[in-house]
């Protein structure tokens, strides 16, 4: 199976983050934990330090932060 690109995984995580951000009753803390908690989707999609550094350089990284803050 081909490995997903960093951008493809970042887009998938952004889609998830937007759904979480739109969930009534979720605070920014809840949203952050749903995305970045150990064993959560971020850790599964970006398991290595290099993957996480590459993700941080994507536009989706900033968009996820903005979705959580909203």
Banded pLDDT at 3 (limits 50, 70, 90): low
- Coil vs helix vs strand at 26: coil
- Integer Cα distance of 22 and 39 in angstroms: 22
- Integer Cα distance of 41 and 38 in angstroms: 9
Cα atoms found within 13 Å of the Cα of residue 15, Cβ hemisphere only = 6
Taking CA atoms, 26 is separated from 12, 34, 63, in Å, by 20, 10, 18
pLDDT digits (tens, 9 = 90+) for 21-64: 888 988 989 999 999 999 999 999 999 999 999 999 999 999 99
Banded pLDDT at 2 (limits 50, 70, 90): very low
Please give the model's pTM, rounded to 2 decimal places: 0.85
User: Which H or E run contains 21?
Assistant: helix 6-21
């Amino acid at each position: 199976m081909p490995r997903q690109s960093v951008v493809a995984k970042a887009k998938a995580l952004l889609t998830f983050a937007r759904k979480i951000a739109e969930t009534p009753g979720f605070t920014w803390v809840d949203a952050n934990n749903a995305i970045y908690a150990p064993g959560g989707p971020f850790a599964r999609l970006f398991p290595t330090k290099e993957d996480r550094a590459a993700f941080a350089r994507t536009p989706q990284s900033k968009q996820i932060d903005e979705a959580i803050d909203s």
